[in-house]
Chains A and B, each alone.
Chain A
Amino acid sequence: MADTKIVNNIRTLRFMAGEMTQADLGTRIGMTRQTIAAIEAGKYSPTLEAAFRIAQVFGKTLDEVFQWEG
């Protein structure tokens, strides 16, 4: 379980939300575009609060945005 990665659909959700930019998403949830890029690339695991904010921007539940890999 400890080795299982969490993946996300943020890139797809941004595309479906009128090609929202990383910078736009970052501005809406108080993050830099580099942090959004790091989350999308699996290089940073956001806090629970930030994860909820990201899901809220896209009108999705948390598990529609973040899932266990595989």
Chain B
Amino acid sequence: MTDTSDMGLAEAGVPFREKSAWVAIAGMVVAYGAYFIVVSALPRAGSEIDETLRTIALFGIATVIRLLILGIGTLVIRSGSPADARVPSDERDRAIAGRSAAFAYYVLMAGMIVVGIMMPFNAHGVAITNAALFWLVAAEIVRYGTTISAYRRGWHG
């Protein structure tokens, strides 16, 4: 067993769940960041159906990329600290997860108000879909970002 008797906070190592949050946020930013850049740069497709199919295909590709980053990243951090990966979450992990989800909920609610209540008056189809996806991604980024911040800066729930 590693001698941790004199470890400070930094020396105790990055918690496994913080590493997981870094991997998750990287996957979201890389995959869906690229997705939104591409869809905003592309000219409109010929028909509404073409536009929809193209959006589904691009979103599918982005999701596969995200899952690859998540899978490979998780394997890497698990192999780097297998003992930490096996330890079940404790009360701090659960408190941080709860706080992160609460922050993300507000972002998601704001997004759904924009997408579900305001956008139908001046947009339609794929534009609404992409706006909904954007807010979902934003909420997830806020969730993982809050998790990372809580682990690094401390938590006094």
Contact = CB atoms under 8 A, between A and B. Distances in A.
B155 A23 contact: no
A44 B150 CA distance: 10
B154 A23 contact: no
Interface in A31-65: 31-38, 40-47, 50
B37 interface: no
Nearest to A39: B92
B92 A31 contact: yes
Interface in B1-49: 1-5, 7-9, 11-16
Contacts, number: 77
Contacts of A32: 15-16, 84, 87, 90, 92-93
Contacts of A33: 4, 7, 12-13
Nearest to B84: A32
A22 B3 CA distance: 9
Number of contact residues on A: which range applies? 20 to 34
A46 B12 CA distance: 17
A38 B7 contact: no
Contacts of A46: 91-92
A44 B155 contact: yes
Contacts of A20: 5
B3 A21 contact: yes
A37 B155 contact: no
Contacts of A50: 91
B84 to A, nearest CB: 7
30 contacts: A14-B5, A22-B4, A22-B12, A23-B4, A26-B90, A30-B88, A32-B16, A33-B12, A33-B13, A34-B12, A35-B90, A35-B91, A35-B92, A35-B93, A36-B12, A37-B7, A37-B8, A38-B9, A38-B12, A38-B155, A40-B8, A41-B8, A41-B154, A43-B153, A43-B155, A44-B92, A44-B156, A45-B157, A46-B91, A47-B91
Q: What are the nearest 4 A-B pairs in CB distance?
A: A37-B12, A43-B154, A41-B9, A34-B15
Given A34-B84, A38-B12, A42-B154, 12 more contacts: A19-B5, A22-B4, A32-B15, A32-B16, A33-B7, A34-B14, A35-B91, A35-B93, A38-B9, A40-B9, A41-B8, A45-B155
